Amino acid sequence: MRLHPLRRRHALAATLLTVSLVHGGAAGADGPGPASGPAALPGKGTNLLVAGLDVRGGLTRQEIDRLHVGGEECGCTDVLMLVHVAADGHRLSVVSLPRDSYVPFAPHDHPAHSGKINGAHAHGGADLTVRTVEQATGLRIDHYLETDFRRFTEAVDELGGAEVCSDVPLKDENSGLDLPAGTHALDGRGALRYVRARHVFPPGDLGRVRRQQRLLLGMVARLTDARIFRDPAATVRTARALLAHVRTDDHTDVGTLLSLAWSLRDIGPRDAEFATVPIADFDYRVPEWGSALRWDEPRAQRMFGALRADRPLTAEFPSGGPAPVGMAPAETRVTVDDPRVADGLRASGFAVTATSVPRVRPDGPTVVTYDPEQIRYAPSLTTALPGARLRAVAGSGPVFHVAVGSADQEVRPVTYDRSMVEGAPVTGDTLRCPRPVAETG
């Protein structure tokens, strides 16, 4: 794959801006992909691969400190997102490929082997990255973009920032993120900290990926609310701004982006969908690679097959039935003072002990008292008890105590399916922040 000489990297900038600029046209859909391999099958629509590299070359010590990107670079992809533009221009699908996904690498100048997908770039650059993704997904990649830390922050600033929201405070010392609960307008530096955070709730790669998708949607919302894509001159300026901060394959240019961007003017949040490739094993141990992620191949290939056939992911993986939770209910010990609620929780597998029923129930919602040390189990229980209020009490032990209030408490069936907690296909309207926006740098 040949790349334009001056356009550089970091996934989220390219992803945000690509999704902002991409939609609707069939530009590039009929031509050869940038590095299509034998496993890449023809399909409907247009596929873009957006990659962000973990590189710090060219950054001064002051820039590293300001951006909070210390540590050693790996020359690998920190983020990979597959962006599918429907052939009819009425839908956009974004699928995140977690960086620790363990997949066979496409043929290159080494004996055949597998590895974490983010290592493909270190082994063979953009060309091997594209061919490895094509081989793993069976999808032809039509366009490729990559960017880096500095250009990511510059691009977000130039294009007006992005909005994000959270029901809980987000603080991560490693990335420098420190946001109170609420909705915020982030500048480029704040956006970089937000997308790189891993040690906030929910933790790990899936929570991080969903935050990246929320930021992406926040950028799209800002540009569409500003009616950028209904103004041809503004669209040209935005496309040129994108190409000043990313690196592309040799047949992706301003004309390509303008063609793809034109119909975005009619696309709303419900027409965009976001998902993460399904995972079967979150701690797949591999010599020389350590802990990796192993895809749930049947569900992953079902997802990629839907993209190849140009079908919506939300229809392929409909919501409904038991709600997915990230911790096995059997690992959560609960006391409950209402027999009906206790029976409902037992039906989903929670380890329930019934306690005496109070003569008079307190006014208001159900209250769940728990030790903060057990916070990782709380989401599974609150998913099963919609509307319940959490009350943290240090030193209260490993058991959650459920006191049912006067309000009628629903008990929702749940099932252990960690991959679908933060990775299930959802439409943009479910991720978009409410108004108003409180300005935060």
Give me the pLDDT at residue 28, please.
33
Amino acid in position 91: R
Give me the pLDDT at residue 413, please.
97
pLDDT higher than threshold 50 for residue 35: no
118-132 core/surface letters (b: 16 or more CB in 10 A; e: else): bbbbbbbebbbbbbb
For the chain, what is the mean pLDDT? 83
Lowest mean pLDDT among 26-40, 118-132, 165-179: 26-40
Tokens of 216: 């992406």
Give me the pLDDT at residue 308, please.
96
pLDDT higher than threshold 60 for residue 222: yes
Number of neighbouring beta carbons within 10 Å of residue 170: 20
Largest CA distance in the chain: 75
Radius of gyration of the chain (CA): 23
**How far apart are the C-alpha atoms of 415 and 321, rounded to whole Å?**
9
**Residue range 126-143: mean pLDDT, rounded:** 95
End-to-end CA distance of the chain: 38
Q: Which ranges in 317-431 belong to alpha helices (H)?
A: 339-347, 378-384, 418-423, 428-431
Give me the pLDDT at residue 414, please.
97
What CATH number labels 327-416? 3.30.70
Give me the pLDDT at residue 145, please.
85
**How far apart are the C-alpha atoms of 336 and 340, rounded to whole Å?**
9
Tokens of 245: 């901060």
When pLDDT is cut at 50, 70 and 90, the band that residue 174 belongs to is: confident
Q: Which ranges in 264-416 belong to alpha helices (H)?
A: 297-308, 313-316, 339-347, 378-384
When pLDDT is cut at 50, 70 and 90, the band that residue 220 belongs to is: confident
Give me the pLDDT at residue 228, please.
67
346-397 tens-digit pLDDT: 999 999 999 999 999 989 999 999 999 998 899 999 999 999 999 999 999 9
193-217 tens-digit pLDDT: 998 888 886 667 788 889 989 888 8
The third-level CATH classification (topology) of the domain covering 11-320+424-439 is Aminopeptidase (3.40.630)
pLDDT higher than threshold 80 for residue 338: yes
pLDDT higher than threshold 80 for residue 78: yes
Give me the pLDDT at residue 293, please.
96
**How far apart are the C-alpha atoms of 260 and 273, rounded to whole Å?**
17
DSSP string of 163-193? EEEESS-EEETTTTEEE-SEEEEE-HHHHHH
More confident residue, 335 or 257: 335
CA distances (Å), 151 to each of 17, 209, 246, 347, in order?
12, 20, 7, 51
More confident residue, 230 or 389: 389
Contact between 3 and 126 (Cβ < 8 Å): yes
Give me the pLDDT at residue 17, please.
43
**How far apart are the C-alpha atoms of 144 and 47, rounded to whole Å?**
9
Lowest mean pLDDT among 30-44, 75-89, 155-169, 302-316: 30-44
Q: φ and ψ at 112, to 5 degrees?
A: -55, 135
**How far apart are the C-alpha atoms of 377 and 84, rounded to whole Å?**
35
Interhelix angle 232-243/11-21, rounded to 10 degrees, is 160
Lowest mean pLDDT among 178-187, 234-243, 342-351, 391-400: 234-243
pLDDT higher than threshold 90 for residue 173: no
pLDDT higher than threshold 80 for residue 330: yes
Nearest C-alpha neighbor of 375 from the set 398, 404, 349: 398
More confident residue, 221 or 303: 303
Q: Where do the domains of the chain lie?
A: 11-320+424-439, 327-416
More confident residue, 152 or 339: 339
265-282 tens-digit pLDDT: 677 788 899 999 999 999
pLDDT higher than threshold 70 for residue 415: yes
Contact between 24 and 85 (Cβ < 8 Å): yes
- CB neighbours of 171 closer than 8 A, spacing ≥ 6? 177, 178, 179, 200
DSSP string of 98-111? -TTBEEEPPSBSB-
Give me the pLDDT at residue 261, please.
67
Give me the pLDDT at residue 79, please.
85
**How far apart are the C-alpha atoms of 334 and 281, rounded to whole Å?**
27
